[in-house]
Amino acid sequence: MEKKSNIKSKIRGAYLTSLISISLVLLLLGIVGLLILNAQVLSQYVKENLCFSLIIKNDVKEPDIKQYQKNLDTYKYIKSTEYITKEDAALSLQDELGEDFLETLGYNPLSPTINVYLNSDYANPDSITMLETFFLTDTNLVSEVSYQQNLVHLINDNVRKISVIFLFFSIALFLISFALLNNTIRLMIYSKRFIINTMKLVGAKRNFIRKPFLITGALQGFFSALIAIAVLSVIVYFMDNQIGNMLSLIDYKTLGLLFAIVMLLGILLTFVSTYFSINKYLRLKSANLYY
């Protein structure tokens, strides 16, 4: 009885160790996915907050400006617009300068402005150049288009570099994670090689031997994924409290998709690793079990 109890204890210990190992691998993959999502959303956030100012001619009446703003809001490449009157622009400049320049000049030299914020897909140098030409020729209301050209180039260059770095980083981590997971599964199957051989000797078919291992592997992947998702949720919650507004950048739908991918990877990777590992010992001869 005591011997059986020790065997059961060892089996439970091995299963728990394997479960934790796979959970850590899936957690690593989940963190990589979280970083990629944050990088993508942050890139989109920065691009969509680039200000693209349309300087309106001074002789244009306010109703015409507001009507033009409404027309701009209908364009698919425009995320939002903001109308700034001459008076609002003067007050803002006064705050920046710390003095009343209107009293010195005796008039307001500023023009009304419509600040345009583009959708991220159009916030690149080529699209902005085309839009600049379009805004200047589309109507006789706009006298000038103003934006920080160097900043646009800098942001797009950095986004491309970061994307390439994240791509290689993600591929490398995925391969490392898969190798770790595969080794964990192989060690688990290796510990049961004599059971597999015994089943072969009594005439059990390969599918019959393979089936319980595949089911166990898939269940192990499922429970490991649950653990990884739970820990990942705690990390997200902690980062949201410490950094702030993280979940306002990544919506719950996207986060749910990430958790679903982790779950799918957990089941799929353990299933595939178990399948190839079990096949190795199904082909192995009894004489080679000790090597």
CATH of the domain at 81: 3.30.70.3040
Q: Are 18 and 188 in contact (CB under 8 A)?
A: yes
First-to-last alpha carbon distance for the chain, in angstroms, is 31
Residues 134, 210, single domain; the answer is no
Please state, in angstroms and rounded to a whole number, the distance separating the CA atoms of residues 216 and 187: 14
Q: Is residue 189 located within the same domain as residue 270?
A: yes
Residue 253 CA to residue 237 CA, distance in Å, equals 16
Does one domain contain both 115 and 202?
no
118 DSSP β-pair partners:
78
Asked if residue 207 and residue 172 are part of one domain, the reply reads: yes
Q: Give me the pLDDT at residue 244, please.
A: 56
List Cα–Cα distances, 30 to 158, 163, 183, 233, 265, in angstroms. Answer: 24, 18, 19, 10, 10
**Overall pTM surpassing 0.75 (yes/no):** no
pLDDT of residue 49: 78
Q: Which domain covers residue 165, as residue numbers?
A: 2-45+155-288
Mapping DSSP to helix (H, G, I), strand (E, B) and coil, where does residue 7 land? helix
Domain count along the chain: 2
Whole-number pLDDT of residue 152: 65
Give the separation between CA 122 and CA 230, rounded to whole angstroms: 37
pLDDT of 3 reads 46
pLDDT at residue 77 in the model: 85
- In which residue are the tokens 């959970």 written? 23
Instruction: Choose among 192, 182, 223: nearest CA to 7.
Output: 192
Could you read off the pLDDT tens digit of each residue along the chain, which spans 291 residues? 444 455 455 556 556 777 787 788 788 888 888 877 777 777 777 777 778 888 888 888 888 888 888 888 888 888 888 888 877 777 776 666 666 655 666 666 677 888 888 888 777 777 778 888 888 887 778 888 887 766 666 766 777 777 777 778 777 777 777 777 777 777 777 777 777 777 877 777 878 878 888 888 888 889 989 999 999 888 887 777 766 555 555 667 788 888 998 999 888 888 888 888 887 777 766 655 555
Query: What pLDDT is recorded for position 226?
Result: 92
**Within a 10 A sphere around the Cβ of 139, how many other Cβ atoms?**
16
Query: Same structural domain for residues 98 and 139?
Result: yes
Q: Provide the pLDDT for residue 7.
A: 45
Of 58, 83, 84, 56, residue with least CA distance to 69:
83
233 and 123 share a domain? no
The predicted structure's pLDDT at residue 236: 81
pLDDT for res 100: 63
Asked if 37 and 167 sit in the same domain, the reply is yes
DSSP one-letter string for 38-71: HHHHHHHHHHTT--EEEEEPTTS-HHHHHHHHHH
Q: What is the pLDDT of residue 230?
A: 92
Asked if 129 and 193 sit in the same domain, the reply is no
Tell whether 199 and 249 lie within a shared domain: yes
- Containing 214, the helix (H) or strand (E) segment is helix 206-242
Same structural domain, 33 and 163: yes
